[in-house]
Amino acid sequence: MEARAIILGAGAAGLFCAGGIGAGAVVIDHADAPGEKIRISGGGRCNFTNLRTGPENFLSENRHFHKSALAGFTPHDFLALVEGAGIAWHEKAAGQLFCDGRAGQIVTMLVERARRAGAELRLGTRITGCRHDGTAFAVATEGGVIRAPVLVVATGGRSIPRMGATGLGHDLARQFGLRVTALRPALVPFTFSDNPFAALAGVSLPVRVRVRGGRAQFDEAMLFTHRGLSGPAMLQISSYWREGEEIAVDLAPGRDLRAHLRDARALAPRRSAATLLADILPQRLVQHLARHLARHLAPDPDLDLGDALGTIPDRRFEDIARALHDFRLRPTGTEGYRTAEVTLGGVDTRDLSSRSMAAQGVPGLYFIGECVDVTGWLGGYNFQWAWASAHAAARAIAGR
């Protein structure tokens, strides 16, 4: 079969690109249903964009690469499509847009847009090989060979293999002579060997968290789990963390704990530090800290959070405040690709055009979406990259 363009992957980027190219585009995916990650995204409501999207919300070895595509297709452009399809939405946290109803509405919108434009979807189709035969790309599938002068690779990253993620995009990049940067799971919970926080599983906190050296900082919620730490703050910082590094957590951001303890001592000297802290922090966490005082409030092994405030000198308030505002943790690892929301790294942007996503030196070959070395923060940025990079490629392909 001959096509105008072959798109590998019927996920966010592939479907959106198909709608932009239209007639003659054939989308191939080994999954039986399109857009499976969209369907489960945002807790089933799909955080489909972020109105505050800026280049600073992305990680890439080239921090300028994504600017052009993001400027060419903005969150408002995608929102216009969502509204045009009659999909009700709401803004949850600052700038984060979610569907009011099920995330499947976005999939339906993308599939209908692609089909209306004349693109064809071949789902449940295993790809057995891919090469350039001198005049066109030839993709071998169980259903036969499809040839086209254009090949768009939109097969995503390696996260969540049980949902069909594979390394095909990265393998194809290497096959055609493109470089691939180091890959690692990102937006992923941390694990600890012999998790010291297991007893706190389920406790959540509004925290400020940063990685050592202040390379990145996020003010978001954190959650203790049976295996370690999760919640938006931990997922965000996981993209910046490297094995062996410490993370520092401010357990009481925006408060001056030292002054708070001192003021409380003046008012109620017989009250214990532990009961005072339990006004600010979850009781279970305070109990845990009290039990592990020697380890976590190391400066003073004699210090007991059960002591009356009136018996605690100022310098010990300082120790307590420092320990809670700068709570140091050294994760053993992460949950890995099994649960990571995205893959950090990908096709090296030095080998792609930032305007069109076209591969340098291989005419007709494009890489879009998560398989490229552009990774967004949590909060709708990854879908915005999928739409924007797909739009850039579709525009270039339509104008060929």
Ligand X SMILES: Cc1cc2nc3c(=O)[nH]c(=O)nc-3n(C[C@H](O)[C@H](O)[C@H](O)COP(=O)(O)OP(=O)(O)OC[C@H]3O[C@@H](n4cnc5c(N)ncnc54)[C@H](O)[C@@H]3O)c2cc1C
- Of 151 and 252, the one with the shorter C-beta distance to ligand X is 151
- Environment class of 213 (CB within 10 Å of its CB; exposed 0-12, middle 13-18, buried 19+): exposed
Asked if residue 205 lies in contact with residue 285, where contact means CB atoms within 8 angstroms, the answer is yes
The alpha carbon dihedral of 76, 78, 82, 88 has a sign of negative
The alpha carbon dihedral of 148, 151, 154, 160 has a sign of positive
- Of 331 and 369, the one with the shorter C-beta distance to ligand X is 369
- Of 249 and 344, the one with the shorter C-beta distance to ligand X is 344
* Per-residue contact flags (x/-) with ligand X for residues 239 to 278, judged by CB under 6 A: ----------------------------------------
Q: Give yes or no for residue 9 binding ligand X (CB under 6 A).
A: yes
Asked if residue 328 lies in contact with residue 248, where contact means CB atoms within 8 angstroms, the answer is yes
Residue type at 228? G
Which residue from 156, 231, 346, 364 is in contact with ligand X, where contact means CB under 6 A?
156
- Of 128 and 360, the one with the shorter C-beta distance to ligand X is 128
- Cα 180 to Cα 225: distance, rounded to the nearest angstrom: 33
Counting residues that bind ligand X (by CB under 6 A) gives 35
Least distance (Å) between residue 133 CB and ligand X: 20
Q: What angle, rounded to 10 degrees, do the helices at 75-84 and 381-398 form?
A: 90
Identify which of 200, 196, 224, 202 has the alpha carbon closest to the alpha carbon of residue 284: 200
Least distance (Å) between residue 15 CB and ligand X: 8
Q: Give yes or no for residue 110 binding ligand X (CB under 6 A).
A: no
Least distance (Å) between residue 371 CB and ligand X: 6
Which residues within the stretch 32-91 sit at the binding site for ligand X (CB under 6 A)?
36-37, 40-42, 46-47
Residue of closest CB approach to ligand X: 11
Chain centre to alpha carbon of residue 98: 15
Choose the stretch contacting ligand X; rule: CB under 6 A; options: 12-20, 57-65, 172-180, 269-277. Answer: 12-20
Q: Give yes or no for residue 176 binding ligand X (CB under 6 A).
A: no
Distances (CA, A) of 76 to 238, 377, 387: 29, 19, 12
First-to-final CA distance of the chain:
21
Which residues within the stretch 120-149 sit at the binding site for ligand X (CB under 6 A)?
127
Asked if residue 350 lies in contact with residue 180, where contact means CB atoms within 8 angstroms, the answer is no
Which residue from 383, 393, 394, 396 is in contact with ligand X, where contact means CB under 6 A?
383
Asked if residue 337 lies in contact with residue 159, where contact means CB atoms within 8 angstroms, the answer is yes
Tokens 């919970």, located at residue? 189
Which residue from 70, 148, 320, 342 is in contact with ligand X, where contact means CB under 6 A?
342
Dig out the tokens for 104 from the structure: 């499947």
Least distance (Å) between residue 154 CB and ligand X: 5
- Of 272 and 389, the one with the shorter C-beta distance to ligand X is 389
Measured in degrees and rounded to the nearest 5, phi and psi for residue 94 equal: -50, 115
The alpha carbon dihedral of 353, 356, 361, 367 has a sign of positive
Residue type at 23? A
Which residues within the stretch 16-35 sit at the binding site for ligand X (CB under 6 A)?
29-31
Which residue from 62, 68, 108, 166 is in contact with ligand X, where contact means CB under 6 A?
166
Identify which of 250, 203, 251 has the alpha carbon closest to the alpha carbon of residue 226: 203
Which residue from 168, 247, 273, 323 is in contact with ligand X, where contact means CB under 6 A?
168
* Per-residue contact flags (x/-) with ligand X for residues 362 to 381, judged by CB under 6 A: -------xx---------xx
Which residue from 3, 5, 7, 10 is in contact with ligand X, where contact means CB under 6 A?
10
Least distance (Å) between residue 397 CB and ligand X: 16
List interacting residues with ligand X (CB under 6 A): 9-14, 29-31, 36-37, 40-42, 46-47, 127, 154-156, 159-160, 164-166, 168, 341-342, 369-370, 380-383, 386
